[in-house]
Chains A and B, each alone.
Chain A
Amino acid sequence: MIVKDKVFDVLFNVERPGRYTGNEINMVVKDKDKVDVRFAFCFPDLYEIGMSHLGLKILYHMLNEREDIYCERVFLPWFDMQEIMKKNQIPIFSLETYSTIDEFDIIGFTLQYEMSYTNLLKVLELGNIPLRSSQRDENYPIVIAGGPCSFNPEPLSSFIDLFVLGEGEEVTLELIDLYKDYKQKKYKKEEFLIKASQIEGIYVPSLYDVLYTKEGTIKSITPKYSGIPKIVKKRIIKNLENVYFPQKMITPIIEVVHDRVTLEIFRGCARGCRFCQAGYIYRPVRFKNKESLKATTINLIKTSGSNEVSLSSLSTSDYPDVELLARDILREIEHKKVNLSLPSLRLDSTTLELLREIDKVRKPTLTFAPEAGTQRLRDVINKNITEDNIFSTIQTAFEMGFGNVKLYFMLGLPTETDDDILGIYDIAKRIKDIYTKTAKRFRLSLGISTSFFVPKAHTPFQWEGQITIEEMQRKARFLKEKLKKIKGVDYSYHDYYLSKMEAVFSRGDRRLDVVLENALKLGCQFDNWSDYFDFSKWEEAFKNAGVDYSFYSDRIRDHDEILPWDIIDSGVDKEFLIKEHKKSKEAKTTPSCFDKCSLCGATTFKGGICFAKV
């Protein structure tokens, strides 16, 4: 029986079967036998998560613009479906043509979070594809990966044939052209990989030898052959004006996490918060043009029928005249009963006014991310937000009738003391006092949410250690006790075990491959769904591999230690990161790229705000 029939015969008996049926509005239909290259775009998580992701949609439509390529989508089926698939011998399949993944030429994974690594292996396993790159010869698809986590690709380096670093639009097409040549001339896989390594932005882990010292740190990372780049530089799109953006977007039929049309208004972030990986790996900041954004919005509403548009970026208020853009777009879509949403907006009195206008019906939750409870610690992390800022905005917000406030903080930041944690309590208390003094036309809902600091590759804090699990528990408990004293505050914190695992994999090296294989065998998957995350299994996975995880997460590293991701060049110089790290210890801040260039190195890309101020 063909895969599609087998799948349809079990759908009546699984949860949310619409995840597995495809056929959405604007799904691309092609004859799979009439293309040269079949590309399986795999999002290693549930359909509802993957289909909320803008990057997937951009690449999907871009690849499908080319007549010689058919890009299809693959998601990881939920537990109940996996069980039924196993029973009925159904391998994992694509939603467009119900092909199994071994039928594809290239399998491309997007790596959005570390805790999806076992999902990725699960996808390969459910597709009957050997996990290790070295076990796959010319008869298997080439397995590639991209996305933010590929900035430290090492934990996955045994499984992935090659990584695409940075923005994938151009480089993926160059790779596919090379692939066509490989298929035609039938050269060996390694020969193909060597050629691929010559494309800027492509990292082929199997072409490097890594040696270790007695202490377990890295002694050297060296190319196996001459001509293989010693360091791989990420790719960016210099000018966003000419970059491909779909005018039609695949639109799911079942409800997904973010059910809306998303437009990216710029790439990069100029703020340089020292804990934030996105703030460094996406440099430099490049804006999209207002007129084309407007035109695209109108088109996308027309072609997707969506009732919500979202303007997305890392820090939306940094878009020049964002209020103007928002109001213009609103004027075009309002009468069609389409809503506008503006995530990552910095709140102040003008943006509050804007929020009120765009969201007349729902009372949106106002979110602030001070990240730390005292000015000293905010200076350490270079978070440019002051308490006066927050309090005066909240005062105005209360006067305007907004009553849902949520604040985000981190626990365990470098140099943090209990006084800094008390600072979080003080902020919450002040907000409560402001509320008490303001006319109460509404009930206040005040949420405080903390995550634990995870040191990330390519940031000034990449040398820092993460606090121990016991210390995380203590800090969270301490804050919880304090916040209990303020009535009506809702406190939530991120899972400490999960944060620990994130810290391990975000700065891990090649020797973690065995751990991931063990974890898969023990049944770890959907780990970022805290209900399904089982730390005891992970502990076992590390134990069986003889790996001490704290070596990766807790240890403070020296500035001259060779880091697993030193092979990757994000454009930001290591010397700059060291300087920033030292400044953080003195609680000295660094201005944003809008105010002053701090010479981070991103000028090497010769684009964006490093050159043209807006």
Chain B
Amino acid sequence: MPRYRFYFTREREQSFISHLDMMRLMERTFRIADIKLKFSEGFNPHPKITFILPMSVGLSTKGDIFEIELDQEITDEKIDTINNILPKGIRILKIENAINKIEVNGFISRVVTNSEPFNKNLFLKFLEGDIIIIKKDKPKNAKEFINTADVIFDKYTEFLFDIRVIKQSFIKPEEIVKKFIEDFNINSSILYVIREKINFQRGI
């Protein structure tokens, strides 16, 4: 059965839904568009949709990807139909045939906060030490997942991260920011997170 890769954007307006909500939304959209989905066999059939990176609550993206198995062939022409159904804030940019697998190496994210400007050295010092984050009950050092990081003071205080994905595992940049805010007692809360770009490699 054909497997397709959908490139999409998600704006802040539609970013406050969970990963599961996003899957359900896509299933509904395809049903409305009358595009036949391939369903899993067995007790509780569900469509075969995979997002190449999880879409966490509060995350906007300038370009993420999901792959889906269909029971029919489609072309780029369906983009308009689908976009007309999708609620405002989610747009499909491109559809391609997913012949080869893709492998995610990392991504670039921006975490926007309402914190007052602080001494940047604080953040640099924080990055130098170990950054222990508890993930599913296990402590992990975020350091090995950070390629580069920076903080910019503009209208808002924005943290920029280039995150490495190692064997499909990574640390969410917002977790790192939360840890920093906590450790250094900075009066701040996160407003939103944007994934600027995913770095991936096509398999051969």
Residues of A within 8 A of B (CB): 8-13, 17-18, 20-21, 23-25, 27, 251, 253-255, 301-307, 336-338, 361-362
Task: Collect the chain A residues with CB atoms within 8 Å of residue B25's CB.
Answer: 25, 253
A18–B17 touching, CB < 8 Å: yes
Binds A, one of B115-123, B124-132, B145-153, B184-192: B184-192
* B78 touches A (CB below 8 Å): no
Interface residues on B, range: 20 to 34
Task: Collect the chain B residues with CB atoms within 8 Å of residue A362's CB.
Answer: 43-44
A305–B31 touching, CB < 8 Å: yes
Binds A, one of B8-16, B100-108, B165-173, B196-204: B8-16
B190–A12 touching, CB < 8 Å: yes
Task: Collect the chain B residues with CB atoms within 8 Å of residue A255's CB.
Answer: 20-21, 24
> Whole-angstrom distance between the alpha carbons of A18 and B27 in the complex?
18
A337–B44 touching, CB < 8 Å: no
* B139 touches A (CB below 8 Å): no
B12–A8 touching, CB < 8 Å: yes
A9-B114, A12-B58, A337-B45 as given contacts; A23 in contact with B13, CB under 8 Å? yes
> Whole-angstrom distance between the alpha carbons of A471 and B25 in the complex?
49
B28–A25 touching, CB < 8 Å: yes
B17–A254 touching, CB < 8 Å: yes
* B18 touches A (CB below 8 Å): yes
Residue of B nearest to A254 (CB): B21
Task: Collect the chain A residues with CB atoms within 8 Å of residue B79's CB.
Answer: none
> Whole-angstrom distance between the alpha carbons of A20 and B29 in the complex?
21
Task: Collect the chain B residues with CB atoms within 8 Å of residue A25's CB.
Answer: 25, 28-29, 32, 85, 87
A13–B190 touching, CB < 8 Å: yes
Task: Collect the chain B residues with CB atoms within 8 Å of residue A254's CB.
Answer: 17-18, 21
Task: Collect the chain B residues with CB atoms within 8 Å of residue A304's CB.
Answer: 28, 32
Task: Collect the chain B residues with CB atoms within 8 Å of residue A18's CB.
Answer: 16-18, 21, 57
A9–B13 touching, CB < 8 Å: no
B31–A21 touching, CB < 8 Å: no
Task: Collect the chain A residues with CB atoms within 8 Å of residue B37's CB.
Answer: 337
Task: Collect the chain B residues with CB atoms within 8 Å of residue A302's CB.
Answer: 32, 34
Among B32, B37, B39, B58, max chain A CB count under 10 A is at B32
A307–B87 touching, CB < 8 Å: no
* B135 touches A (CB below 8 Å): no
Q: Chain B nearest CB: distance from A184 CB in Å?
A: 34
**B89's contact among A13, A17, A23, A251, by CB below 8 Å, is which?**
A23
The 3 closest A-B pairs by CB, nearest first: A305-B28, A17-B16, A305-B31
The SS class assigned to the B binding surface is: mixed
A11–B58 touching, CB < 8 Å: yes
A9-B114, A27-B87, A302-B32 as given contacts; A17 in contact with B57, CB under 8 Å? yes
Task: Beyond the given A255-B24, A307-B27, please list 17 additional residue pairs across the A-B interface where CB-CB is below 8 A.
Answer: A11-B16, A12-B189, A12-B190, A12-B193, A18-B57, A21-B13, A23-B88, A25-B29, A25-B32, A303-B32, A305-B85, A306-B28, A307-B28, A307-B31, A337-B37, A337-B45, A362-B43
B28–A9 touching, CB < 8 Å: no
> Whole-angstrom distance between the alpha carbons of A405 and B53 in the complex?
41
A361–B20 touching, CB < 8 Å: no
**B87's contact among A13, A23, A303, by CB below 8 Å, is which?**
A23
A21–B16 touching, CB < 8 Å: yes
> Whole-angstrom distance between the alpha carbons of A21 and B88 in the complex?
11
Residue of B nearest to A19 (CB): B16
A12-B191, A17-B57, A17-B58 as given contacts; A23 in contact with B14, CB under 8 Å? yes
Q: Chain B nearest CB: distance from A53 CB in Å?
A: 19
Task: Collect the chain B residues with CB atoms within 8 Å of residue A21's CB.
Answer: 13-14, 16-17
Residue of B nearest to A303 (CB): B32
Residue of A nearest to B47 (CB): A337
> Whole-angstrom distance between the alpha carbons of A578 and B29 in the complex?
54
B58–A361 touching, CB < 8 Å: no
B31–A336 touching, CB < 8 Å: yes
Among B12, B24, B58, max chain A CB count under 10 A is at B24
> Whole-angstrom distance between the alpha carbons of A254 and B14 in the complex?
11
Task: Collect the chain A residues with CB atoms within 8 Å of residue B191's CB.
Answer: 8-9, 12
> Can you sample 30 A-B contacts with CB below 8 Å?
A8-B191, A9-B191, A11-B58, A12-B193, A18-B18, A18-B57, A21-B13, A23-B89, A24-B87, A25-B29, A25-B85, A25-B87, A27-B87, A253-B14, A253-B87, A255-B21, A301-B31, A302-B34, A305-B27, A305-B29, A305-B31, A305-B32, A306-B28, A307-B28, A307-B31, A336-B31, A337-B37, A337-B45, A361-B43, A362-B43
Task: Collect the chain A residues with CB atoms within 8 Å of residue B45's CB.
Answer: 337, 361
Interface string of B22-65 (1 = CB under 8 A from A): 00110111111010010100011100000000000110000000
Residue of B nearest to A11 (CB): B16
Task: Collect the chain B residues with CB atoms within 8 Å of residue A301's CB.
Answer: 31
Q: Chain A nearest CB: distance from B134 CB in Å?
A: 19
Q: Chain B nearest CB: distance from A9 CB in Å?
A: 5
> Whole-angstrom distance between the alpha carbons of A306 and B30 in the complex?
10
> Whole-angstrom distance between the alpha carbons of A414 and B174 in the complex?
59
Residue of A nearest to B44 (CB): A361
A13-B189, A18-B18 as given contacts; A251 in contact with B58, CB under 8 Å? no
> Whole-angstrom distance between the alpha carbons of A18 and B87 in the complex?
13
